[in-house]
Amino acid sequence: MKIEKMVHTSVLVRDLDKAIEFFSDALGLEFPEPWDTPELDIKETTDAVGLINLITPLDPNGVTGRELARRGERAICLCYKVPSVDEATAEMEARGIRVIAKSVWGEMPWVCFDPRDTFGVMLEFVEYRAKNEYLFQMFPSPPPLRKK
C-alpha cells in the first residue's frame, strides 16, 4: 500500500463549539459549520487548511460517547490519502485489521479501521483526486466558514 499524504488528525472533544473557538483563536484556523456523520456516531468539522478534524459524539450513549466517557478528550484518528480505498482495505483486512465503517462522502470513498487492531488509534483512509482541499470532494460546494 502507498500512503500519499497525511490528511488530518481527528481530535475527540466534549464541547465542539469550545474546541472550535480554541483552535480558531490559538492557531488562527477557520472551520466550516459542523456536520453529522451518523456512520461514525459523530458531529464533526475540519479546518479550512485540513489539518485538524474536531469530533464529538452524536449520542452520549453510543460508541463514540462511551469512548469519550472512558478515555477522555484526545487525538483519536489519523487520516491518510491513498490511491485506492478498495485496495488499501483489502490489504489491511489481509493483515487481520477490521473495518468499522466504509462509505462515500460526495465523491470521496473512505474507510475506518478498528483501533483495537492498530495500537489504539483509528486509521482512516480516503481517496480523492484533487491535489488540495479534500473537503471539496465531500461537498458539491464547500460548507460556509463559521462566523466569529
Give the pLDDT of residue 4. Answer: 92
Give the pLDDT of residue 130. Answer: 61
Q: What residue type is assigned to position 134 of the chain?
A: Y
- Structural domain of residue 46, as residue ranges? 5-138
| Averaged pLDDT for residues 128-132 | 63
| Averaged pLDDT for residues 82-100 | 97
User: Is 110 part of a structural domain of the chain?
Assistant: yes
**Cut 0.85: pTM above it:** no
User: Is 51 part of a structural domain of the chain?
Assistant: yes
| Averaged pLDDT for residues 43-54 | 88
User: Is 148 part of a structural domain of the chain?
Assistant: no
Starting at the earlier edge strand, list the strands of the sheet with 5-12.
35-37, 42-46, 52-57, 5-12, 74-81, 122-126, 108-113, 99-105
CATH value at residue 119 = 3.10.180.10
User: Is 143 part of a structural domain of the chain?
Assistant: no
User: Is 10 part of a structural domain of the chain?
Assistant: yes
User: Is 147 part of a structural domain of the chain?
Assistant: no
Q: How many domains does the chain have?
A: 1
DSSP 42-111: EEEEE-TTSSEEEEEESSTTSHHHHHHHHH-SEEEEEEEE-S-HHHHHHHHHHTTPPEEEEEEETTEEEE
User: Is 20 part of a structural domain of the chain?
Assistant: yes
Give the pLDDT of residue 40. Answer: 84
